[in-house]
Structure 1
Amino acid sequence: MKNLNLFERISDKITCAAGSPGAFATAFLIIIIWGICGPVFHYSDTWQLVINTGTTIITFLMVFLIQKTQNKDSKAIQLKLNELLAASRRASNRMVDIEDLSEAELDVLRKYYQRLSDVAEEEDDIHKSHSIDSAEKLSRQKSQQPGVQSRKK
């Protein structure tokens, strides 16, 4: 566990440093110096290999650091969203941890919420319902009332 914490601390520091203006300026300066050195080394294969190897190694390592940072950020965002869902009296707790669903299951949920949106658009006030069941029930009740016509698209 201690090594994991050490890796996390180091990767967080490197990620912050790599995204700084100083890091960009340093990288830019290295490219300028490399370009100026071209005539000195007669634009040799070795001269080109130096920059290609350096950028490949840095890119390879940064991919893992960026992925680690994105994973951590994604977990934090999911936890914040879960907290909002749990705190909201009208939100469906079924949405907590949906990031573990398959792509096909997420598509089914997307269709569900598209349907909810379609039903809500037929209402005068989109805040009157918070689920497909209640939206459809409200819509049926309104259409059964005398003198109320449903607004179809």
Structure 2
Amino acid sequence: MAGAASSDQPARGGRTGNPAGRFADEIAEVVRDEMGAVRRQLTEAARPAGTGIALLAAAGGCLILGVGAASTTVLRMLETFLPRRLAVAGLASGYLAAAAVLGRLGLQQLSAAGDNSARVADEVREAVSATAGAVVPAGSAAARQALGGGRGPESDGRNEV
């Protein structure tokens, strides 16, 4: 009886004398070691990724600044032979046309991908249609007002944009 009681007692190293208990302790130790190794690997992998993401964000900021500078340069070049309003309208029209073409191509690619991508493409089309339905009339009114030299007969003097 003394032997049965001693097998449930903790053995050297704090482990139980029971073979099943020792096995569970050893498995727990292996799992802890493996989890520590996985955690270290993830941490090591995340450091360069974090740096990479920060560098990509900085590159995106530089890209936006570069596009703005290029846009200003193109506008100044257009203003050398066009009135300012016409140069601005032409540049804006070019950007809008490029956005429409690129957007249409992107939506076609999403639709061709199928499944969830096609559903996303449909949702984007609906959102763009709803936005365009609200923006185009306001933009047309603003353009008519700007080209008409200010107030038209239907204007009450407020800026309607």
TM over 0.5: no
TM-score by length of 1: 0.36
Q: What TM-score results when the alignment is normalised by the length of structure 2? A: 0.35
The structure number with the bigger radius of gyration is 2
Tell which has more relative contact order, 1 or 2 (C-alpha 8 A, sep 6+).
1
* Structure having the larger proportion of residues in helix: 2
